[in-house]
Structure 1
Amino acid sequence: MPNERLRDAILRNGLTPVAVAEKIGVDAKTVERWITQDRTPYPRHRHAIAAMVREDVPYLWPDAITPEKAAQIGQNEMIQLYSRRSSVPYDLWRRLIERATQRIDVLAYAGLFLLEQDPRLVDVLRQKGVDGVEVKILLGDPTSPAIERRSVEEGTPGVMAAKIRQVQQYYNRLDGAPGVKVLYHDTTLYNSIYRFDDEMLVNMHVLGFPAPHAPVMHLRMLNGGDLFRTYSDSFDRVLGASKPRSVDEVAA
C-alpha cells in the first residue's frame, strides 16, 4: 500500500523523490520504494525527511515508533516545569511570541494576563498575521455554564465571564486582521494552552485554584514524542468545536 502521506508531503514542499534522494544520500529508487511500497526508512533517514518536509515522523510513518519509544522521547520534550504560572518569566512569553513565524495558538477562558503584561500584544498579533503567521485565539464563551462553574469553583462567581468580556474589548481590534481568528468555545478546560511554533506553555488547571497559582510546563516538540502532540491535539479538538461570536453579541 503506498505511503500517501509521504508522497503528499514531498510534493507539497515542491520536491521530487530524486531531490529527496540527493539531499539524504540514497538512491532515488529507494525513495520510490518508501513511497510506493510503504517501506520504512532507517531512523536517520526518517528524521531527515521529516525535517525536510516539515512534518512529524509519526505522521509520515505511524507504525515506525512504538508507544514506549514515543513516551521516552516525550520526557525530553519538557524544558522546564514552573510551580505556578506567575513564576514564568515575562521575557519568556515575549520571546516566544516575537520568534513565532508559523503559528500562535491560544486556548484559554480569558487569558487576560497576556494583555496585562503587554498592552501592545494586540498590535503585535495583528502584525504577525500580516507577516503570514496563523494566529488562532480560542476564548471561553462568557454565556457558557462551564465559565460560571469555573468562577464558582474558584470562589469568585461571575468574575470569569467579566474577564472574558474585558478581553473581548481588546481582541475586537483584531476583527478583519489577515491570518487572525478569534473564536469562542464552551469546553471544560483541563489546561490552558499557548503554542508558538514548536514550543508550548501548558498551564495546568487545579480545582479551586486560580490559573496564576497552577503549574506550567514549557515544552518543545521533538520528532516522535507524544507529550507535545497530546496538547497540540487537544487544542485542535477545541478548535473544531469553536465558533465566532454570534451576530446578536457583536451587535450588542
Structure 2
Amino acid sequence: MPLLRSRLLPQLQALLDLLLPPACPLCGANLPQGPDQPPLCPACLAGIRPLESPCCPRCALPYPAEEGTDHLCEPCLRRPPPFAWVAALGLYMGTLQSAVQRLKFSGAIGLDRPLASLLADRFTDQVREFEPDLLLPVPLHRDRLRRRSYNQSLLIARVLGRRWGVPVACRSLVRTRDTPPQQALKADIRQRNLQGAFRLLGPLAGERVILVDDVMTTGATARECSRVLLTGGASAVAVTVLARTPRP
C-alpha cells in the first residue's frame, strides 16, 4: 500500500496542477510548473530588490553608492551592536515592502512560506556556518497579539526552522510592555522606547540564537532583544529579517 501511494501521489499532484495551476500568492499569475517551481512568479521575484554590496557587514545597512566594498557604518562604529550580523532578503521597497505589509497588517498569512523560503535559500550557508541552536521570533505584547491574532515573526521563524532544521523557541522571550509602534518614533528615541520591554522567561546555557523579525529599520528592536538574550546566557546572537530599510 505505501508503495502504491508513493506512485500515485506524484500523478495526482500533476493532475491537480493541470486542472488548477498553482498561482503566485502575491499577484495571482500562474507559476511555472515543474519540480523546481519558484515560490513567486518571475515578475514578483524581479520586483524584490536584493540587499547587495556595499553595505554594513554588521547591521546590513545598505549604502547609496552602487560600487565599493562593505564597511562598518557610523552607528556600528560608535556603538557596536550586540548581534553578530544581520541577514535580510532584500530592501524594504517595491514588491517586498508590499508583501511584508500584507503579511503584517492585512492577514495575508499565506505569504509566510514563500517569503521565508526565499530567505532560507539565500542564507543557508551563512546559517550553517553560524551553527545556531535556536531560532527565536521577536515577540508581540499579548494585547497586540490579541488584536492581530498572529505574530508574523513567529510564522516566518517556523518556516525557517523547518528549512534549516533548527528548533524554534516561541515562548522564551516575551514582551512585557505594549510600546508605541517603532515606525511612529524618531530614530533617537526608538531605543529608549524599548528599554525594559523584553524579558527572558528562563536562562539560556550558551545557546547560539538567531533572532527572527520581519523588518529592520534602525535596529533598535534587534539591539534590545539581543542584549536581553546575551545577558540571559546566550553565547552569540545573529539576526535575520525579510527586509532592511534603506538609509533615510
Q: TM-score, normalised by structure 2?
A: 0.28
Structure (1 or 2) with the greater helix fraction: 1
Q: TM-score, normalised by structure 1?
A: 0.28
